[in-house]
């Protein structure tokens, strides 16, 4: 049995290697004096928490730095942490590969353990195969601004990971080992000489191009590997491969479609992004067909394929594939012409339907199978057939998202212009009657040329853009801030008015505590409208918001509300004979619903997954999961196994006594959370003084503004900068505030055994406590107090002390509850990682606090301080391994 220390030995070796190389680079690039200063600060930081003299010396050094040295030191410690992250991420894949010695796929997959367990529980192999064959997992890539690293640095980090993998080979010659060391040091030097700060805010089109690049460079190659692994596991454990056009994974995107609070995403942007994505798909298929033409030089073929070739041909595959290549070339030209604004373009010789392309390739596949070319068919044609199932002709399905008040505003303008009254002032019943009547009415409602404000015109233009674009490239229309049936009906009517031939499915997003509590009634009302029920044809999608509900009510209350909402939505849909598909709007951080997918899915209410999953992949999560092919394949397999288990072996239903205690804790935690966030007179002042919240807007990590309204307060602040700001000072407040009081109350009432029973028997509560424990490992009162010392005025320091006391009491009660349970032991690796990182992370926090003090003190501060602040923000994000 390999011990944790033995398993971690290669990781420590890699971190030491990269650290030594970075040290040499720092000495050569920044000078010996600065290198020695870094080493002195690191040495002091190792003991400062326990040695008051070392702590005082460390703070004195930081306070006495000149502005230029502050920037250089921040860069040095930030790069040390990024190097540690690269090594840890690679080591994770190394462990999975080590576990794969006897595995059925190229790396260990939990699916290999799951299938025998399911069979043992009485699930038939045919049922498992059917579930895998029909599974639908749609990963929705979003441009949420949480990835602080520049793409060029992400790419260099990926190359370092590749070189670490090469160093693990056993048969390297001394020369090859030295070559690898030189290559590593070259990359580290290049990273040091690269500006890590984004100087220009990305446009929505640039964000979409980044998403397309992730697909082109990683997912395009990972999906066939993933499917071959899945096929092999199915054949070995279930006795049969999956259908040839099966691919459980689909990719969607919000990049270029999410206009909620982002005025930079316009109708023109959406049109351009959708066509660029379509062009990219055609180009990728074109490249693959070119390679097939080179490979498939054989003469023997089936009669079916020969009949598709004109005349007597000697190389039928090449002749047949050239016609496909030509149509793909013309498809690219068609996209280019549309982007140039040309109209009336012929569509006779282009691909508009993915099924047509897929069926043509199936002819090649069947022919190879019939003529002793099965291996060629499976290694080349099959991969492309499955790519078509995954990516279609549009690469991604582009969602549109807009907030409900914008639709109300347009309809109000229409009713007032037509002298029908004020739609905005009508009650819900009157709105529904009006909307349903107009949806069924064949004549247009909105007059051509009626006066509209720029915002109203933009929304109408968006609807018309939807009508102009190929329907297979579009996904859902998501309504944020949805709270009533009329919000859904309004979007359906506006699509009809724009002439959308195949309307996008309309997806309400329930994100506040009140909306989650009411969502069952809202959907029940919609399903009770005969016209609507017929219109959706038995299928409804609803999005659950994890971010804003957490910001609204605190983590515990929000988690319980999300669980109950999923139960309610599934039950209401079932009562109406409708299949419910839940869309999970998860972020990367725990405060925004993040966490390991296999635990998160089993923590859902039983019966709510049902072979289908739609989930957002946001910001730094995309980079963490899909920037390296091995990691991408692993994560796709994890999703597949988790959905299979949640479908075929769902978790137990919550016992009545569990529900009762959750209701009690939810109420206590929400009250305590809101008492501070909404009720404390100094909370907003404290938040803005001690966190870099206001400075985050100057970090050009996304096209979207930090607030929905420029002049709004905390309530208009988006969930990402809200979590991001607290993470920077390592107080992690959104993920635990209110929870400690709730847990302590039920423990004081003698219900501790019931809580432990819930942890051991109920995946929902296990996952909640597991994620709470993870956050509490990272939360740090020592660091948070330093920000108070640097930045807080005397009138708010009492609040800071109270919050740190609440943090400590939450840690104590949580540790008391999980003592002697497996959940505690499973966190030891993280605790060890945090301790190792602190000597590098603490100086970054000290530097950030000092830089913020200088910036706030002097409005005319030098630009180098702005750079230093941005670097510390990126460095602390690396230390915490997430942002917002």
Which amino acids are annotated catalytic? 144, 551
Structure tokens at 521: 């009634």
- Burial string for 305-319 (b: 16+ CB within 10 Å, else e) reads beebbeeeeebbbbb
- 3-state secondary structure at position 615: strand
Among positive and negative, which fits the CA dihedral 625, 11, 874, 789? positive
* Rounded distance between C-alpha atoms, residue 101 and residue 880, angstroms: 32
CA angle 551, 552, 553 (to 5 degrees): 100
Q: How many CB atoms lie within 10 A of CB 767?
A: 23
* Rounded distance between C-alpha atoms, residue 180 and residue 168, angstroms: 11
- Residue 508 has φ and ψ, to the nearest 5°, of -75, 140
Among positive and negative, which fits the CA dihedral 324, 327, 331, 333? positive
- 3-state secondary structure at position 475: strand
The H or E element that residue 495 is part of is: helix 485-498
Q: Residues 221, 633: contact at Cβ < 8 Å?
A: no
- Residue among 167, 358, 91 nearest 244 (CA): 358
* Rounded distance between C-alpha atoms, residue 464 and residue 442, angstroms: 18
* Rounded distance between C-alpha atoms, residue 739 and residue 802, angstroms: 15
Residues contacting residue 774 through CB under 8 Å, at least 6 positions apart = 590, 595, 827, 830
Residues contacting residue 73 through CB under 8 Å, at least 6 positions apart = 34, 37, 38, 41, 65, 843, 847
Tell me the angle at which helices 763-778 and 555-575 cross, rounded to the nearest 10 degrees.
150
Tell me the longest C-alpha to C-alpha distance in the chain: 91
* Rounded distance between C-alpha atoms, residue 174 and residue 183, angstroms: 14
Q: What would the DSSP string read from start to end of 624-647?
A: HHHSSHHHHHHHHHHHHHHHHHHH
CA atoms within 13 A on the CB side of 117: 11
Among positive and negative, which fits the CA dihedral 6, 7, 10, 16? negative
Dihedral, 101, 103, 109, 115 alpha carbons, nearest 10: -150
Percent of residues in the chain assigned helix, strand, coil, to nearest 5: 70, 5, 25
Residues contacting residue 355 through CB under 8 Å, at least 6 positions apart = none
Q: How many CB atoms lie within 10 A of CB 97?
A: 17
The H or E element that residue 137 is part of is: strand 136-142
Structure tokens at 187: 């990359």
Burial class (CB in 10 A: 0-12, 13-18, 19+), 652: exposed
Tell me the angle at which helices 404-417 and 485-498 cross, rounded to the nearest 10 degrees.
60
* Rounded distance between C-alpha atoms, residue 518 and residue 423, angstroms: 22
Dihedral, 39, 43, 49, 54 alpha carbons, nearest 10: -90
Q: How far is CA 847 from its chain centroid? A: 30
């Amino acid at each position: 049995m390999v011990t944790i220390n033995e398993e971690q030995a290669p990781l420590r070796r890699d971190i030491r290697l990269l650290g030594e190389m970075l040290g040499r680079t720092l000495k050569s690039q920044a000078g010996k004096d600065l290198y020695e200063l870094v080493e002195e600060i690191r040495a002091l930081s190792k003991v400062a928490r326990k040695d008051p003299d070392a702590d005082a010396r460390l703070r004195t050094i930081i306070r006495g730095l000149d502005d230029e040295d502050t920037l250089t030191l921040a860069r040095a410690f930030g790069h040390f942490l990024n190097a540690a992250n690269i090594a840890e991420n690679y080591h994770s894949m190394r462990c999975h590969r080590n576990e794969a010695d006897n595995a059925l796929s190229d790396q260990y997959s939990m699916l290999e353990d799951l299938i025998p367990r399911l069979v043992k529980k009485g699930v038939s192999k045919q049922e498992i195969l059917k579930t895998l064959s029909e599974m639908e997992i749609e990963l929705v890539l979003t441009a949420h601004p949480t990835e602080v690293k520049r793409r060029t640095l992400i790419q260099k980090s990926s190359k370092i990971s590749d070189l670490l993998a090469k160093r693990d080979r056993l048969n390297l010659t001394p020369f090859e080992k030295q070559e690898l060391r030189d290559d590593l040091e070259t990359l580290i030097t290049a990273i040091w000489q690269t500006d890590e700060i984004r100087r220009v805010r990305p446009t929505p089109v640039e964000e979409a191009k980044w998403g397309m690049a992730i697909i082109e460079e990683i997912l395009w190659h990972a999906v066939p590997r993933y499917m071959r692994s899945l096929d092999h596991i199915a054949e070995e454990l279930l006795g049969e491969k999956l259908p040839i056009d099966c691919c459980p994974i689909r990719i969607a995107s919000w990049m270029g479609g999410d206009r909620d609070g982002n005025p930079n995403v316009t109708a023109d942007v959406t049109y351009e992004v959708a066509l660029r994505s379509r062009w990219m798909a055609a180009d990728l298929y074109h490249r693959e067909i070119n390679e097939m033409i080179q490979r498939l030089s054989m003469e023997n073929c089936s009669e079916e394929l020969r009949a598709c070739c004109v005349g007597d041909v000697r190389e039928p595959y090449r002749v047949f594939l050239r016609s496909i290549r030509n149509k793909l070339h013309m498809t690219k030209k068609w996209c280019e012409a549309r982007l140039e604004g040309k109209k009336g373009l012929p569509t006779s010789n282009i691909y508009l339907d993915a099924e047509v392309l897929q069926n043509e390739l199936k002819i090649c596949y069947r022919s190879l199978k019939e003529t002793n070319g099965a291996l060629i068919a499976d290694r080349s044609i099959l991969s492309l057939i499955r790519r078509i199932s995954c990516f279609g002709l549009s690469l991604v399905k582009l969602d549109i998202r807009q907030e409900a008040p914008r639709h109300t505003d347009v309809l109000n303008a229409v009713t007032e212009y037509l002298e029908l009254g004020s739609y905005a002032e009508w009650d819900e019943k009157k709105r529904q009657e009006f909307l349903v009547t107009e949806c069924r009415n064949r004549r247009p409602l909105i007059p051509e040329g009626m006066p509209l404000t720029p915002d109203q015109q933009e929304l109408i233009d968006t609807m018309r853009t939807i009508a102009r674009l190929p329907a297979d490239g579009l996904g859902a229309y998501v309504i944020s801030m949805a709270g009533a049936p009329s919000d859904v009906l309004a979007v359906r009517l506006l699509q009809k008015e724009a002439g959308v031939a195949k309307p996008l499915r309309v997806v309400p997003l329930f994100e506040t505590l009140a909306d989650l509590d009411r969502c069952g009634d809202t959907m029940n009302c919609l399903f009770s409208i005969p016209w609507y029920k017929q219109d959706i044809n038995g299928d409804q999608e609803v999005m659950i918001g994890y971010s804003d509900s957490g910001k609204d009510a605190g983590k515990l209350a929000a988690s319980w509300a999300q669980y109950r909402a999923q139960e309610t939505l599934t039950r209401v849909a079932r009562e109406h004979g409708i299949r419910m598909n839940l869309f999970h709007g998860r972020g990367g951080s725990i405060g925004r619903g993040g966490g390991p997918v296999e635990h998160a899915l089993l923590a859902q209410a039983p019966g709510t997954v049902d072979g289908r999953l739609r989930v957002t992949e946001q910001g730094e999560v995309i980079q963490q999961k899909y920037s390296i092919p091995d990691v991408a394949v692993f994560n796709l397999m994890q999703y597949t196994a988790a959905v299979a288990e949640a479908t075929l072996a769902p978790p137990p239903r919550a016992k009545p006594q569990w529900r009762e205690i959750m209701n009690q804790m939810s109420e206590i935690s929400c009250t305590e959370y809101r008492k501070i966030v909404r009720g404390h007179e100094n909370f907003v002042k404290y938040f803005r003084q001690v966190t870099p919240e206001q400075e985050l807007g100057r970090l050009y990590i996304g096209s979207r503004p930090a607030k929905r309204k420029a002049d709004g307060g905390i309530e208009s602040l988006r969930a990402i900068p809200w979590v991001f700001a607290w993470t920077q000072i390592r107080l992690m407040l959104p993920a635990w505030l209110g929870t400690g009081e709730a847990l302590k109350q039920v423990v004081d009432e003698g219900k501790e055994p019931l809580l432990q029973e819930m942890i051991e028997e109920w995946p929902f509560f296990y996952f909640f406590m597991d994620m709470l424990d993870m956050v509490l490992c990272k939360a740090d009162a020592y660091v948070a107090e330093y920000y108070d010392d640097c930045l807080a005025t005397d009138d708010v320091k009492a609040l800071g002390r109270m919050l740190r006391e609440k943090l400590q009491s939450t840690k104590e009660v949580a540790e008391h509850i999980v003592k002697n349970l497996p959940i505690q032991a499973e966190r030891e690796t993280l605790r060890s990682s945090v301790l190792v990182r602190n000597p590098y992370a603490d100086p970054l926090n000290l530097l950030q606090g000092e830089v913020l003090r200088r910036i706030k003190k002097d409005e005319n501060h030098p630009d180098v301080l702005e750079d230093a602040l941005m670097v510390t923000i990126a460095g602390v994000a690396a230390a915490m391994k997430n942002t917002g």
